[in-house]
A and B are shown apart, each in its own frame.
Chain A
Amino acid sequence: MSGSAYRGSQIENIDQFIEDKEGLGSEREIEIGQHIGYRYDVNLVPDYERLTTFLKQYMEVMGWDDLNWLEDVHMGYEDGKPAVFDRNINGWVRVPDSIPLGKNQQDRDMAARELLIKFQMSDRHPLVALRRVYKKF
């Protein structure tokens, strides 16, 4: 029904998807049993005052003046747990309990970016095995 005024859930509480993992906020969502829309603000631009030391080092190694592709990485939530989406495996990577959650989305996004880089560059990332199977010898 194109043309209705429905615009998906409005995220007002940063812990909304931790406290309520379904997060169904509208009649439409309850009807279909699914949350509609992203569980974070995809258009939130990063606050560079909150860069971590690790991310500064990463930018320097890559020769970039800013976060580059990481500007699109945000902390999201899966099954009531904080998680970050890894585009290289098309799935969510859960944030370990040992990583403290920030009080605001900007700090959480920076932690998510750091975790994602560490995971993607790890020898245990699924792409490592995938590459060995499919590469041209």
Chain B
Amino acid sequence: MEYLNDSKLASLTQEERAEALGMTSEHLTGRSMTIEFDPDEKTRFVYPWSPDVDFNKRTQINADNLNATEVNHRIRELMEEGYGSIVISNPRGKHALGVGVLSRLNLIFEGSLGYFAAGLIDGPNVRINGRVGWSCGENMMSGTIIIEKNAGSTFGAAIRGGDLICKGSVGSRTGIDMKGGTIIVGGNTGALSGFMMQRGRMIVCGNAGKNLGDSMYDGTIYIGGAIHSLGVDAVEAPLTEPDASWLRRKLHMYGLLPSAGVSHFTKVVAGKQLWNYDNLEPSEKKLIL
């Protein structure tokens, strides 16, 4: 296939680019695809398009007179210049700061953020020396986010991977629809935490509100304090030694390991009673046929 550089691709429409690069446009039907890939080829630890950043190269952005888009653009520009540690001062509660960073990076916010802080990230280590609003870390794929104070509702909504830590307390619906990763709360969490959880792990060192783990399909929730009530199909399970060992390791990493250890934690898992939602499907099909 002829090599197409970016300037030539830019002159094409999206459909033409897809065709030129050999992509198919039919509806997905679960077909197999063969890609020549050698697992012993050149080792790389970041995506091919990721900027080459150095954690020791540090700079600062004063967000006082910038809007969220300008701050996020500036972060990308600095990454292209090789800065691997970026400090954002005066964020003043702006929404959607630090979103969509898809590479390794140390990102430090000196202040509180608004809604959707550091969402959709894949790789960076984010530290927020303040509070955050709703949906912090929403849809994050990998990396770490550490919040020093409290967080709002839907903390870590639909998170796919990585570690999301709030050292204070969080609102309701923490980890709603989470599909992987680890959410750690140093304080308490509100109602309906773990709602429709599908995979991953949630650790709450304090208390949990009502309907914990409601309609969860899989995954594990560890609660250090009291549970107001369990949701539909959420059940308690015995805390095993691998669980305890993993808990100690994870909490120690973020300075949240209780002095009393982890033996008092309650483990909550899915009862898997809701896995049978399609139980009538075969007979329905017979009726249709």
Contact = CB atoms under 8 A, between A and B. Distances in A.
A66 interface: yes
A133 B10 CA distance: 9
B139 to A, nearest CB: 12
A35 B2 CA distance: 43
B21 A132 contact: yes
Interface string A78-117: 0000000001000100001011000000000000000101
Contacts of B123: 62
Nearest to B35: A124
Contacts of A126: 33, 35
Interface string A1-34: 1111011100000000000000000001001100
A106 B36 CA distance: 27
Nearest to B30: A91
Interface stretch (B45-53, B61-69, B86-94, B150-158): B45-53
Interface residues of B, number: 64
A107 to B, nearest CB: 15
Contact of B161 (A36, A68, A117, A122): A68
B238 interface: no
Interface stretch (B112-120, B130-138, B206-214, B278-286): B278-286
Nearest to B254: A65
B249 to A, nearest CB: 7
Interface in B1-59: 4, 6, 9-10, 14, 17-18, 21-23, 33, 35-37, 39, 41, 43-49, 55
A69 B142 contact: yes
B interface: dominant SS: mixed
Interface stretch (B167-175, B186-194, B257-265, B267-275): B267-275
A68 B44 CA distance: 18
B183 to A, nearest CB: 13
Contacts of A129: 21-23
Given A1-B280, A124-B36, A137 B275 contact: no
A42 B219 CA distance: 7
A61 to B, nearest CB: 4
A62 B39 contact: no
Nearest to B142: A69
Nearest to B247: A45
Contact of B243 (A2, A45, A134): A45
6 contacts: A2-B273, A31-B282, A65-B253, A68-B143, A72-B161, A129-B23
Given A61-B45, A66-B249, 19 more contacts: A1-B279, A1-B280, A2-B274, A2-B277, A3-B276, A6-B276, A45-B242, A63-B104, A69-B180, A87-B141, A87-B160, A115-B39, A118-B41, A119-B37, A121-B47, A122-B37, A122-B48, A130-B23, A133-B18
